[in-house]
Chains A and B, each alone.
Chain A
Amino acid sequence: MSALLTVEDLRVSFPTRTGLIEAVRGVSFTLGRERLGIVGESGSGKSQTGRAIMGLTAEHGVIDAKRLEFNGIDLLKASASERRALRGKRIAMILQDPKYSLNPVMTIGRQIVETLRAHEPVGKAEAKKRALDMLAAVQIRDPERVFDLYPHEVSGGMGQRAMIAMMLVAGPELLIADEPTSALDVTVQLDVLGILNRLVAERGMGLIFISHDLRLVSSFCDRVIVMYAGRIVEELPADKLSEAQHPYTRGLLNCMPQIGADRHPLPVLDRKPEWRT
Protein backbone atom coordinates (compact mmCIF):
# COMPACT_ATOMS: atom_id res chain seq x y z
CA MET A 1 0.00 0.00 0.00
CA SER A 2 1.42 3.37 -0.96
CA ALA A 3 1.53 6.01 1.69
CA LEU A 4 -1.07 8.76 1.63
CA LEU A 5 1.25 11.20 3.31
CA THR A 6 5.00 11.13 3.76
CA VAL A 7 6.68 13.54 6.15
CA GLU A 8 10.44 13.43 6.43
CA ASP A 9 12.50 15.70 8.68
CA LEU A 10 9.87 18.43 8.89
CA ARG A 11 11.02 21.65 10.53
CA VAL A 12 8.91 24.70 11.28
CA SER A 13 10.56 27.77 12.72
CA PHE A 14 9.58 31.34 13.40
CA PRO A 15 12.09 34.19 13.30
CA THR A 16 11.45 36.62 16.15
CA ARG A 17 13.21 39.63 17.62
CA THR A 18 14.86 37.44 20.22
CA GLY A 19 16.02 34.77 17.78
CA LEU A 20 14.70 31.77 15.90
CA ILE A 21 11.94 29.79 17.59
CA GLU A 22 11.98 26.19 16.40
CA ALA A 23 8.47 24.85 16.91
CA VAL A 24 8.98 21.60 15.01
CA ARG A 25 12.48 20.13 14.87
CA GLY A 26 12.75 17.19 12.51
CA VAL A 27 9.52 15.20 12.52
CA SER A 28 9.17 12.17 10.24
CA PHE A 29 6.27 9.79 9.75
CA THR A 30 4.19 8.18 7.03
CA LEU A 31 0.46 7.82 7.02
CA GLY A 32 -1.66 5.31 5.16
CA ARG A 33 -5.42 5.05 5.34
CA GLU A 34 -5.29 4.76 9.10
CA ARG A 35 -5.83 6.74 12.27
CA LEU A 36 -2.70 8.36 13.59
CA GLY A 37 -2.66 10.22 16.91
CA ILE A 38 -0.20 13.01 17.68
CA VAL A 39 0.00 13.72 21.40
CA GLY A 40 1.91 16.34 23.33
CA GLU A 41 1.51 19.25 25.70
CA SER A 42 1.32 22.93 24.80
CA GLY A 43 4.37 23.98 22.86
CA SER A 44 5.30 20.46 21.75
CA GLY A 45 4.79 21.38 18.08
CA LYS A 46 1.85 19.03 17.49
CA SER A 47 -0.47 21.69 16.09
CA GLN A 48 2.30 23.28 14.01
CA THR A 49 2.94 19.88 12.44
CA GLY A 50 -0.71 19.66 11.42
CA ARG A 51 -0.77 23.23 10.16
CA ALA A 52 2.36 22.73 8.07
CA ILE A 53 0.76 19.73 6.31
CA MET A 54 -2.41 21.74 5.73
CA GLY A 55 -0.42 24.75 4.50
CA LEU A 56 -1.71 27.04 7.22
CA THR A 57 1.55 28.03 8.89
CA ALA A 58 1.65 31.75 9.68
CA GLU A 59 3.21 33.72 6.84
CA HIS A 60 6.50 34.54 8.54
CA GLY A 61 7.05 30.91 9.54
CA VAL A 62 9.72 28.93 7.71
CA ILE A 63 8.92 25.36 6.68
CA ASP A 64 11.71 23.02 5.74
CA ALA A 65 11.64 19.29 5.09
CA LYS A 66 13.46 16.60 3.17
CA ARG A 67 10.09 15.36 1.94
CA LEU A 68 6.53 16.50 2.42
CA GLU A 69 4.40 14.53 0.00
CA PHE A 70 0.68 13.97 -0.26
CA ASN A 71 -0.36 11.28 -2.76
CA GLY A 72 2.67 11.94 -4.91
CA ILE A 73 2.24 15.72 -4.80
CA ASP A 74 5.24 17.59 -3.40
CA LEU A 75 3.63 20.01 -0.95
CA LEU A 76 6.81 22.05 -0.55
CA LYS A 77 6.96 22.89 -4.27
CA ALA A 78 3.21 23.32 -4.76
CA SER A 79 2.13 26.86 -5.59
CA ALA A 80 -0.32 28.77 -3.45
CA SER A 81 -3.17 28.04 -5.87
CA GLU A 82 -2.33 24.34 -6.00
CA ARG A 83 -2.33 24.24 -2.19
CA ARG A 84 -5.64 26.07 -2.20
CA ALA A 85 -7.16 23.48 -4.53
CA LEU A 86 -6.02 20.70 -2.22
CA ARG A 87 -7.15 22.39 0.95
CA GLY A 88 -10.73 21.54 1.76
CA LYS A 89 -11.04 19.23 -1.24
CA ARG A 90 -8.46 16.53 -0.55
CA ILE A 91 -7.03 17.55 2.82
CA ALA A 92 -9.44 18.91 5.42
CA MET A 93 -9.00 20.15 8.95
CA ILE A 94 -11.24 20.34 12.01
CA LEU A 95 -10.26 22.85 14.67
CA GLN A 96 -10.84 22.86 18.38
CA ASP A 97 -13.64 25.28 19.03
CA PRO A 98 -16.65 25.58 16.70
CA LYS A 99 -17.38 28.98 18.28
CA TYR A 100 -14.31 30.38 16.54
CA SER A 101 -13.94 28.18 13.48
CA LEU A 102 -17.43 28.72 12.03
CA ASN A 103 -18.33 31.98 10.31
CA PRO A 104 -20.64 33.80 12.74
CA VAL A 105 -22.55 35.77 10.07
CA MET A 106 -23.36 32.89 7.72
CA THR A 107 -25.90 30.16 8.34
CA ILE A 108 -24.49 26.67 8.83
CA GLY A 109 -26.11 25.45 5.63
CA ARG A 110 -24.63 28.23 3.50
CA GLN A 111 -21.17 27.50 4.87
CA ILE A 112 -21.40 23.85 3.95
CA VAL A 113 -22.75 24.68 0.47
CA GLU A 114 -19.96 27.22 0.00
CA THR A 115 -17.30 24.61 0.77
CA LEU A 116 -18.85 22.14 -1.65
CA ARG A 117 -19.31 24.59 -4.52
CA ALA A 118 -15.78 25.93 -4.09
CA HIS A 119 -14.48 22.50 -5.01
CA GLU A 120 -17.08 20.89 -7.25
CA PRO A 121 -19.18 22.24 -10.11
CA VAL A 122 -22.58 21.44 -8.63
CA GLY A 123 -25.85 23.33 -8.91
CA LYS A 124 -27.55 25.06 -6.00
CA ALA A 125 -30.27 22.49 -5.49
CA GLU A 126 -27.84 19.59 -5.72
CA ALA A 127 -25.44 21.30 -3.29
CA LYS A 128 -28.21 21.90 -0.78
CA LYS A 129 -29.30 18.29 -1.01
CA ARG A 130 -25.78 17.06 -0.38
CA ALA A 131 -25.35 19.46 2.53
CA LEU A 132 -28.55 18.15 4.12
CA ASP A 133 -27.42 14.55 3.60
CA MET A 134 -24.11 15.40 5.23
CA LEU A 135 -25.85 17.01 8.23
CA ALA A 136 -27.91 13.84 8.57
CA ALA A 137 -24.72 11.77 8.37
CA VAL A 138 -23.29 13.55 11.41
CA GLN A 139 -26.48 12.58 13.26
CA ILE A 140 -28.17 15.95 13.35
CA ARG A 141 -31.79 15.01 13.88
CA ASP A 142 -33.46 17.86 12.03
CA PRO A 143 -31.11 18.82 9.16
CA GLU A 144 -33.64 21.16 7.49
CA ARG A 145 -33.87 23.31 10.61
CA VAL A 146 -30.15 23.32 11.43
CA PHE A 147 -29.33 24.23 7.80
CA ASP A 148 -30.88 27.67 8.38
CA LEU A 149 -29.41 28.32 11.83
CA TYR A 150 -26.47 30.59 12.63
CA PRO A 151 -23.51 29.15 14.60
CA HIS A 152 -24.46 31.04 17.78
CA GLU A 153 -27.87 29.37 17.76
CA VAL A 154 -26.50 25.86 18.22
CA SER A 155 -24.70 24.12 21.09
CA GLY A 156 -20.99 23.31 21.07
CA GLY A 157 -21.56 19.67 20.22
CA MET A 158 -23.93 20.56 17.37
CA GLY A 159 -21.47 23.19 16.09
CA GLN A 160 -18.67 20.66 16.02
CA ARG A 161 -20.88 18.21 14.11
CA ALA A 162 -21.65 20.94 11.59
CA MET A 163 -17.91 21.57 11.32
CA ILE A 164 -17.29 17.88 10.62
CA ALA A 165 -20.09 17.91 8.03
CA MET A 166 -18.52 20.91 6.32
CA MET A 167 -15.09 19.32 6.26
CA LEU A 168 -16.28 15.98 4.93
CA VAL A 169 -18.77 17.21 2.33
CA ALA A 170 -16.14 17.50 -0.40
CA GLY A 171 -14.92 13.96 0.35
CA PRO A 172 -11.31 14.55 1.46
CA GLU A 173 -8.76 11.74 1.55
CA LEU A 174 -6.95 13.09 4.59
CA LEU A 175 -8.53 14.65 7.63
CA ILE A 176 -6.52 16.53 10.24
CA ALA A 177 -8.45 16.96 13.49
CA ASP A 178 -6.74 19.36 15.90
CA GLU A 179 -8.24 18.86 19.38
CA PRO A 180 -11.70 18.32 17.84
CA THR A 181 -13.43 17.57 21.13
CA SER A 182 -11.45 19.47 23.77
CA ALA A 183 -14.03 22.24 24.01
CA LEU A 184 -16.92 19.81 24.49
CA ASP A 185 -18.50 18.15 27.52
CA VAL A 186 -17.42 14.56 28.16
CA THR A 187 -20.70 12.95 27.11
CA VAL A 188 -20.92 15.06 23.93
CA GLN A 189 -17.27 14.34 23.28
CA LEU A 190 -18.01 10.63 22.95
CA ASP A 191 -20.90 11.24 20.51
CA VAL A 192 -18.71 13.39 18.28
CA LEU A 193 -15.85 10.89 18.38
CA GLY A 194 -18.28 8.10 17.51
CA ILE A 195 -19.47 10.02 14.44
CA LEU A 196 -15.91 10.82 13.39
CA ASN A 197 -14.90 7.19 13.87
CA ARG A 198 -17.74 5.89 11.72
CA LEU A 199 -17.25 8.38 8.88
CA VAL A 200 -13.50 7.88 8.73
CA ALA A 201 -13.97 4.11 8.59
CA GLU A 202 -16.79 4.23 6.00
CA ARG A 203 -14.97 6.56 3.66
CA GLY A 204 -11.52 5.05 4.08
CA MET A 205 -9.91 8.35 4.95
CA GLY A 206 -6.55 8.88 6.59
CA LEU A 207 -6.89 10.69 9.90
CA ILE A 208 -4.40 12.66 11.95
CA PHE A 209 -5.84 13.22 15.40
CA ILE A 210 -3.97 15.87 17.37
CA SER A 211 -4.64 16.07 21.08
CA HIS A 212 -3.12 16.66 24.49
CA ASP A 213 -5.11 13.76 25.93
CA LEU A 214 -2.98 10.61 25.69
CA ARG A 215 -5.69 8.27 26.91
CA LEU A 216 -8.35 9.60 24.58
CA VAL A 217 -6.04 9.38 21.58
CA SER A 218 -4.97 5.85 22.36
CA SER A 219 -8.58 4.72 22.65
CA PHE A 220 -9.38 6.27 19.27
CA CYS A 221 -6.34 5.77 17.02
CA ASP A 222 -4.35 2.86 15.61
CA ARG A 223 -0.94 4.39 16.17
CA VAL A 224 0.28 7.19 18.45
CA ILE A 225 3.19 9.60 18.09
CA VAL A 226 4.28 11.38 21.27
CA MET A 227 5.92 14.77 20.77
CA TYR A 228 8.01 16.81 23.16
CA ALA A 229 9.70 20.14 22.40
CA GLY A 230 9.24 19.82 18.63
CA ARG A 231 10.47 16.25 18.30
CA ILE A 232 8.98 12.79 18.29
CA VAL A 233 10.08 11.06 21.49
CA GLU A 234 8.15 7.86 20.99
CA GLU A 235 5.93 6.10 18.49
CA LEU A 236 3.83 3.14 19.48
CA PRO A 237 0.71 1.15 18.59
CA ALA A 238 -2.25 2.57 20.51
CA ASP A 239 -3.03 -0.67 22.30
CA LYS A 240 0.56 -0.93 23.57
CA LEU A 241 0.37 2.35 25.46
CA SER A 242 0.95 0.67 28.79
CA GLU A 243 4.27 -0.60 27.46
CA ALA A 244 5.54 2.91 26.67
CA GLN A 245 9.29 3.19 27.23
CA HIS A 246 10.06 6.88 27.18
CA PRO A 247 9.96 8.55 30.63
CA TYR A 248 7.97 11.48 29.19
CA THR A 249 5.19 9.22 27.88
CA ARG A 250 5.13 7.29 31.13
CA GLY A 251 5.11 10.50 33.13
CA LEU A 252 2.20 11.88 31.11
CA LEU A 253 0.20 8.70 31.69
CA ASN A 254 1.02 8.70 35.36
CA CYS A 255 0.28 12.28 36.35
CA MET A 256 -3.44 12.15 35.59
CA PRO A 257 -5.74 11.63 38.54
CA GLN A 258 -7.75 8.42 38.21
CA ILE A 259 -11.04 7.49 39.78
CA GLY A 260 -10.43 4.99 42.55
CA ALA A 261 -6.66 5.43 42.68
CA ASP A 262 -5.57 6.94 45.97
CA ARG A 263 -2.34 8.71 45.12
CA HIS A 264 -1.46 11.74 47.22
CA PRO A 265 0.46 13.64 46.07
CA LEU A 266 0.20 12.92 42.35
CA PRO A 267 3.46 11.98 40.64
CA VAL A 268 4.75 14.97 38.67
CA LEU A 269 6.84 15.11 35.53
CA ASP A 270 10.50 15.71 36.11
CA ARG A 271 11.50 17.24 32.77
CA LYS A 272 14.99 16.20 31.77
CA PRO A 273 17.06 18.45 29.49
CA GLU A 274 18.21 15.45 27.46
CA TRP A 275 14.62 14.85 26.26
CA ARG A 276 14.99 17.93 24.09
CA THR A 277 17.82 16.52 22.00
Chain B
Amino acid sequence: MTPALAVNGLSVVFDEFVALDDVSLSVAPGESYGLVGESGSGKSTLLRAVAGLAPVAEGTIEVDGAPLGKRRDKAFYRKVQMVFQDPYGSLHPRQTVDRLLLEPLAIHGFADTESRIVRALDEVGLGSGFRFRYSHQLSGGQRQRVAIARALILEPSILLLDEPTSALDASVQAEVLNLLEQLRADRRLTFVMVSHDLAVVTHMCDRLMVMQNGRAVEQLTSTDLAARNVTQDYTRGLLAASEGFRRAG
Protein backbone atom coordinates (compact mmCIF):
# COMPACT_ATOMS: atom_id res chain seq x y z
CA MET B 1 0.00 0.00 0.00
CA THR B 2 1.26 3.46 -0.84
CA PRO B 3 1.92 5.46 2.30
CA ALA B 4 -0.08 8.69 2.71
CA LEU B 5 3.10 10.46 3.70
CA ALA B 6 6.65 9.24 3.21
CA VAL B 7 9.68 11.22 4.34
CA ASN B 8 13.14 9.99 3.33
CA GLY B 9 16.44 11.26 4.70
CA LEU B 10 15.04 14.73 5.28
CA SER B 11 17.42 17.46 6.46
CA VAL B 12 16.60 21.09 7.14
CA VAL B 13 19.39 23.62 7.55
CA PHE B 14 18.99 27.25 8.61
CA ASP B 15 22.21 29.06 7.68
CA GLU B 16 24.74 26.87 9.48
CA PHE B 17 22.34 25.34 11.96
CA VAL B 18 21.13 21.81 11.23
CA ALA B 19 17.56 21.75 12.59
CA LEU B 20 16.67 18.36 11.13
CA ASP B 21 19.22 15.70 10.33
CA ASP B 22 18.44 12.74 8.08
CA VAL B 23 14.99 11.81 9.36
CA SER B 24 12.79 9.21 7.63
CA LEU B 25 9.26 8.11 8.38
CA SER B 26 6.28 6.65 6.62
CA VAL B 27 2.63 7.10 7.59
CA ALA B 28 -0.08 4.80 6.22
CA PRO B 29 -3.43 6.22 5.05
CA GLY B 30 -5.78 6.61 8.00
CA GLU B 31 -2.97 6.23 10.51
CA SER B 32 -2.27 8.62 13.34
CA TYR B 33 1.45 9.29 13.79
CA GLY B 34 3.06 11.22 16.63
CA LEU B 35 6.28 13.20 16.95
CA VAL B 36 7.56 13.77 20.51
CA GLY B 37 10.56 15.62 21.82
CA GLU B 38 11.72 18.64 23.74
CA SER B 39 12.16 22.15 22.38
CA GLY B 40 14.74 22.19 19.63
CA SER B 41 14.33 18.51 18.82
CA GLY B 42 13.15 19.32 15.29
CA LYS B 43 9.64 17.91 15.64
CA SER B 44 7.89 21.09 14.51
CA THR B 45 10.52 21.70 11.82
CA LEU B 46 9.70 18.30 10.33
CA LEU B 47 6.02 19.20 10.18
CA ARG B 48 6.76 22.62 8.73
CA ALA B 49 9.05 21.09 6.10
CA VAL B 50 6.21 18.85 4.96
CA ALA B 51 3.87 21.85 4.75
CA GLY B 52 6.47 23.78 2.72
CA LEU B 53 7.27 26.22 5.51
CA ALA B 54 10.89 25.22 6.13
CA PRO B 55 13.78 25.00 3.63
CA VAL B 56 14.57 21.39 2.71
CA ALA B 57 18.33 20.88 2.33
CA GLU B 58 18.28 17.19 1.50
CA GLY B 59 15.89 14.27 1.22
CA THR B 60 12.46 13.72 -0.29
CA ILE B 61 8.85 14.03 0.83
CA GLU B 62 6.12 12.02 -0.89
CA VAL B 63 2.38 12.43 -0.49
CA ASP B 64 0.32 9.50 -1.75
CA GLY B 65 3.37 8.28 -3.66
CA ALA B 66 3.95 11.54 -5.55
CA PRO B 67 7.20 13.39 -4.68
CA LEU B 68 6.84 17.05 -3.72
CA GLY B 69 8.82 19.71 -5.55
CA LYS B 70 10.34 22.89 -4.15
CA ARG B 71 7.03 24.74 -4.35
CA ARG B 72 3.74 23.32 -3.17
CA ASP B 73 0.86 23.65 -5.64
CA LYS B 74 -2.78 24.28 -4.84
CA ALA B 75 -3.66 20.61 -5.13
CA PHE B 76 -1.21 19.88 -2.30
CA TYR B 77 -3.02 22.21 0.06
CA ARG B 78 -6.35 20.59 -0.83
CA LYS B 79 -4.87 17.38 0.44
CA VAL B 80 -2.69 18.53 3.35
CA GLN B 81 -3.69 21.12 5.95
CA MET B 82 -2.12 22.24 9.18
CA VAL B 83 -3.35 23.34 12.63
CA PHE B 84 -0.93 25.47 14.63
CA GLN B 85 -0.18 25.61 18.32
CA ASP B 86 -1.27 29.04 19.34
CA PRO B 87 -4.90 29.80 18.54
CA TYR B 88 -4.20 33.39 19.60
CA GLY B 89 -1.59 33.85 16.89
CA SER B 90 -2.98 31.79 14.03
CA LEU B 91 -6.31 33.58 13.46
CA HIS B 92 -6.45 37.00 11.81
CA PRO B 93 -7.48 39.46 14.54
CA ARG B 94 -9.48 41.71 12.23
CA GLN B 95 -11.42 39.05 10.34
CA THR B 96 -14.65 37.45 11.47
CA VAL B 97 -14.88 33.67 11.70
CA ASP B 98 -16.96 33.78 8.51
CA ARG B 99 -14.22 35.68 6.64
CA LEU B 100 -11.52 33.31 7.99
CA LEU B 101 -13.38 30.27 6.73
CA LEU B 102 -14.23 31.88 3.40
CA GLU B 103 -10.58 32.51 2.50
CA PRO B 104 -9.50 28.91 1.75
CA LEU B 105 -12.77 28.34 -0.16
CA ALA B 106 -12.21 31.43 -2.28
CA ILE B 107 -8.59 30.49 -3.03
CA HIS B 108 -9.62 27.06 -4.20
CA GLY B 109 -12.65 28.31 -6.14
CA PHE B 110 -15.46 26.58 -4.25
CA ALA B 111 -18.96 27.67 -5.23
CA ASP B 112 -21.13 26.46 -2.35
CA THR B 113 -19.35 28.57 0.30
CA GLU B 114 -22.45 29.29 2.37
CA SER B 115 -23.35 25.69 3.08
CA ARG B 116 -19.73 24.66 3.60
CA ILE B 117 -19.09 27.33 6.23
CA VAL B 118 -22.25 26.40 8.11
CA ARG B 119 -21.35 22.72 7.99
CA ALA B 120 -17.72 23.27 9.00
CA LEU B 121 -18.76 25.24 12.11
CA ASP B 122 -21.34 22.65 12.96
CA GLU B 123 -18.80 19.83 12.70
CA VAL B 124 -16.42 21.39 15.21
CA GLY B 125 -19.24 21.96 17.68
CA LEU B 126 -19.63 25.71 17.21
CA GLY B 127 -23.12 26.85 16.32
CA SER B 128 -23.82 29.43 13.62
CA GLY B 129 -23.95 31.99 16.45
CA PHE B 130 -20.15 32.10 16.28
CA ARG B 131 -20.03 32.81 12.57
CA PHE B 132 -19.81 36.58 12.71
CA ARG B 133 -17.61 36.94 15.76
CA TYR B 134 -14.02 38.11 15.83
CA SER B 135 -11.35 35.85 17.30
CA HIS B 136 -10.92 38.06 20.38
CA GLN B 137 -14.55 37.33 21.24
CA LEU B 138 -13.78 33.62 21.51
CA SER B 139 -12.13 31.53 24.23
CA GLY B 140 -8.92 29.60 23.55
CA GLY B 141 -10.78 26.33 22.97
CA GLN B 142 -13.26 27.99 20.63
CA ARG B 143 -10.42 29.57 18.66
CA GLN B 144 -8.73 26.22 18.24
CA ARG B 145 -12.03 24.81 17.00
CA VAL B 146 -12.16 27.58 14.39
CA ALA B 147 -8.59 26.75 13.35
CA ILE B 148 -9.59 23.09 12.97
CA ALA B 149 -12.68 24.07 10.98
CA ARG B 150 -10.52 26.20 8.68
CA ALA B 151 -8.14 23.29 8.09
CA LEU B 152 -10.95 20.83 7.43
CA ILE B 153 -13.13 23.03 5.22
CA LEU B 154 -11.15 21.97 2.12
CA GLU B 155 -11.70 18.32 3.02
CA PRO B 156 -8.03 17.38 3.17
CA SER B 157 -6.95 13.79 3.70
CA ILE B 158 -3.88 14.58 5.81
CA LEU B 159 -3.93 16.88 8.83
CA LEU B 160 -0.68 18.18 10.31
CA LEU B 161 -1.18 19.11 13.98
CA ASP B 162 1.51 21.19 15.69
CA GLU B 163 0.87 21.04 19.47
CA PRO B 164 -2.85 21.62 18.91
CA THR B 165 -3.76 21.60 22.62
CA SER B 166 -0.71 22.75 24.53
CA ALA B 167 -2.03 26.32 24.90
CA LEU B 168 -5.32 25.07 26.34
CA ASP B 169 -6.57 24.19 29.83
CA ALA B 170 -6.69 20.49 30.68
CA SER B 171 -10.48 20.24 30.50
CA VAL B 172 -10.55 22.10 27.17
CA GLN B 173 -7.70 19.93 25.91
CA ALA B 174 -9.85 16.85 26.54
CA GLU B 175 -12.70 18.36 24.49
CA VAL B 176 -10.43 19.27 21.55
CA LEU B 177 -8.68 15.87 21.57
CA ASN B 178 -12.08 14.14 21.53
CA LEU B 179 -13.17 16.35 18.64
CA LEU B 180 -10.04 15.50 16.66
CA GLU B 181 -10.52 11.77 17.21
CA GLN B 182 -14.16 12.02 16.19
CA LEU B 183 -13.29 13.88 12.99
CA ARG B 184 -10.55 11.42 12.14
CA ALA B 185 -12.95 8.50 12.47
CA ASP B 186 -15.70 10.23 10.47
CA ARG B 187 -13.49 11.37 7.62
CA ARG B 188 -10.80 8.67 7.63
CA LEU B 189 -8.14 11.32 8.05
CA THR B 190 -4.41 10.76 8.39
CA PHE B 191 -2.89 12.63 11.34
CA VAL B 192 0.69 13.67 11.95
CA MET B 193 0.75 15.20 15.39
CA VAL B 194 3.54 17.00 17.21
CA SER B 195 3.50 17.29 20.98
CA HIS B 196 5.88 17.61 23.90
CA ASP B 197 3.40 15.65 26.02
CA LEU B 198 3.94 11.89 25.87
CA ALA B 199 0.53 11.20 27.38
CA VAL B 200 -1.26 13.21 24.68
CA VAL B 201 0.67 11.52 21.88
CA THR B 202 0.14 7.99 23.18
CA HIS B 203 -3.54 8.79 23.60
CA MET B 204 -3.95 10.09 20.05
CA CYS B 205 -1.48 8.12 17.94
CA ASP B 206 -0.86 4.53 16.90
CA ARG B 207 2.85 4.97 16.31
CA LEU B 208 5.30 7.65 17.28
CA MET B 209 8.83 8.90 16.81
CA VAL B 210 10.93 10.25 19.66
CA MET B 211 13.23 13.04 18.51
CA GLN B 212 16.22 14.81 20.01
CA ASN B 213 18.53 17.47 18.56
CA GLY B 214 17.07 17.12 15.06
CA ARG B 215 17.48 13.36 14.90
CA ALA B 216 15.14 10.43 15.34
CA VAL B 217 15.93 8.63 18.60
CA GLU B 218 13.52 5.77 18.03
CA GLN B 219 10.22 4.83 16.44
CA LEU B 220 7.77 2.72 18.39
CA THR B 221 4.10 1.95 18.84
CA SER B 222 2.05 3.56 21.58
CA THR B 223 1.38 0.12 23.04
CA ASP B 224 5.11 -0.51 23.39
CA LEU B 225 5.60 2.86 25.01
CA ALA B 226 2.78 2.26 27.48
CA ALA B 227 4.33 -1.12 28.33
CA ARG B 228 7.70 0.65 28.89
CA ASN B 229 9.02 -1.42 26.01
CA VAL B 230 11.63 1.13 24.93
CA THR B 231 15.20 0.71 23.76
CA GLN B 232 16.73 4.16 24.19
CA ASP B 233 17.75 5.86 27.44
CA TYR B 234 16.47 9.20 26.20
CA THR B 235 12.94 7.81 25.82
CA ARG B 236 13.18 6.30 29.29
CA GLY B 237 14.18 9.69 30.65
CA LEU B 238 11.19 11.34 28.98
CA LEU B 239 8.88 8.68 30.38
CA ALA B 240 10.24 9.18 33.89
CA ALA B 241 9.92 12.96 33.57
CA SER B 242 6.31 12.70 32.46
CA GLU B 243 5.42 10.96 35.69
CA GLY B 244 5.92 14.15 37.66
CA PHE B 245 8.12 15.41 40.43
CA ARG B 246 9.49 13.11 43.07
CA ARG B 247 10.95 14.47 46.26
CA ALA B 248 14.36 13.01 46.82
CA GLY B 249 14.80 11.06 50.03
Contacts and interface: CB of A to CB of B under 8 A. Distances in A.
A61 B183 CA distance: 43
A42 B177 contact: no
Given A187-B238, A219-B244, A255-B170, A260 B226 contact: yes
A85 interface: no
B174 A269 contact: yes
Interface string A82-107: 00000000000000000000000000
A257 B202 contact: yes
Interface residues of B, number: 35
B176 to A, nearest CB: 10
B239 interface: yes
A40 to B, nearest CB: 9
B181 interface: yes
Given A186-B196, A265-B182, A220 B245 contact: yes
A264 interface: yes
Nearest to A41: B169
Contacts of B178: 265-266, 268
Nearest to A186: B241
Nearest to B247: A197
A181 to B, nearest CB: 9
Looking at A187, A257, A265, the one whose CB has the most chain B CB atoms below 10 A away is: A257
Interface string A205-247: 0000000111110011000000000000000000000000000
A146 to B, nearest CB: 19
Contacts of B173: 255-256
Nearest to B182: A265
A2 interface: no
B229 to A, nearest CB: 11
Interface in A11-45: 41-42
A143 interface: no
Interface residues of A, number: 34
B46 interface: no
Given A255-B174, A257-B202, A186 B169 contact: no
Contact of B140 (A42, A187, A214, A215): A42
Interface string A139-168: 000000000000000001000000000000
B68 interface: no
A196 to B, nearest CB: 10
A266 B177 contact: yes
A197 B200 CA distance: 27
Contacts of A257: 174, 177, 197, 199-200, 202-204
A212 B173 CA distance: 12
Contacts of A193: 245
A92 B127 CA distance: 46
Interface of B: 38-39, 140, 169-175, 177-178, 181-182, 196-200, 202-204, 225-227, 237-239, 241-242, 244-248
12 contacts: A186-B238, A186-B241, A187-B238, A212-B169, A212-B170, A214-B170, A219-B246, A219-B247, A258-B199, A265-B182, A266-B178, A266-B203
